[in-house]
Structure 1
Amino acid sequence: MDTSIRKIYNPIQKDHVTFLKTSAETDGEYTLVEVELADGGGVGLHYHKTYSEKFDCIEGEVQIALGKKMRILKPGESATAEPNVNHLFRNRSGSPCKFLVELRPASEGFERSLQIGYGLANDGQCKPNGFPKDKLALAWLFDISESNLPGWMSVLEFVLRKQAKKARKKHIDKELIARYVRF
């Protein structure tokens, strides 16, 4: 597989993700990506019900919150968010960092949501916060990434899941996959 198409860039978050192993390549055992995260970048608090997310720092420093505990990972250190554990990652070090993210089991939805979300950002179809401008696309991407919101924010999930169904009925899912999913 051509490695150039496996590296995607998000101009809003100013980060790169390189797909090292996909669900298809590991028979669903795991997904492995390398993230190059700019200072100030990251993903807010969330959790997954169906897979764990392991973070291995390669260069620089990345902050990982697991539950209520914040850790700063340096090269050679790792942390794992087990299913149903609230977590986030971010870079506040003043310089870029690089780390691996391994999902077990693999998540094709996660893989697709990154390709589509980054594609939308490159096409100017995202707001300054990185969320797609199209609310149905946002809801569907949230759904396929198998992300969940913690605490009081979980009340929004009902609306998002309902909107994701509407996106499927309107074939927005098929349009986004055809346009942005390259592997």
Structure 2
Amino acid sequence: MLAPYTPYFAEEVWSFMEEGSVHHEPWVSFSYEDEEAVLTGEILVKVISEIRRYKHDKGLALNAPLGEVTVYTPVPVNDAGDAGFATNCTLTWKTGMPELMQVVSGVKFDMGIIGPALRGKAKGFMQAVEALPKENLINIPSTVTVDGEEIAVPDGSILPELSYTVAGASVDLIPVSDSLVITINQ
């Protein structure tokens, strides 16, 4: 390996150990495949790519701090902190799947449906829906009471906004695949 850079020195060293010229020897060939390293590398690429996509979608700079990120994988991964450094976050690797709970965090109204259907009662209708307990918003009720009057809920006018919790903490969820999940706790 030294011969191209220091030909005379390499030739002298070679002549003490072997016969002939080092310049007539073939290059050293090396092959080593580590299936585990290939799998870990693919997981790292997917995780960093998804975290960068998440930052882009949220309007964050790629070098903006992200908070606590937990990656749930099917196999143990030890990246020596490279993924956390590349994404500017505190990244934790865990094997298995998280115990996610899906909860209703709010509602989204479709004013294109509510406005024409309810006209002047739209504001009271939205306030009545927002006053409902969160657990009642998973299955939208068929009627809502507004100023003592039962009003039918127009189809498609209310969409529950869902969020996820892990161990009681609200997290953003990035499902990469069936066996690879990323949670972000900001």
What TM-score range do you get, normalising by the shorter chain?
under 0.3
Please give the TM-score of this superposition, normalised by the length of structure 1: 0.23
Please give the TM-score of this superposition, normalised by the length of structure 2: 0.22
* CA radius of gyration, larger in: 2
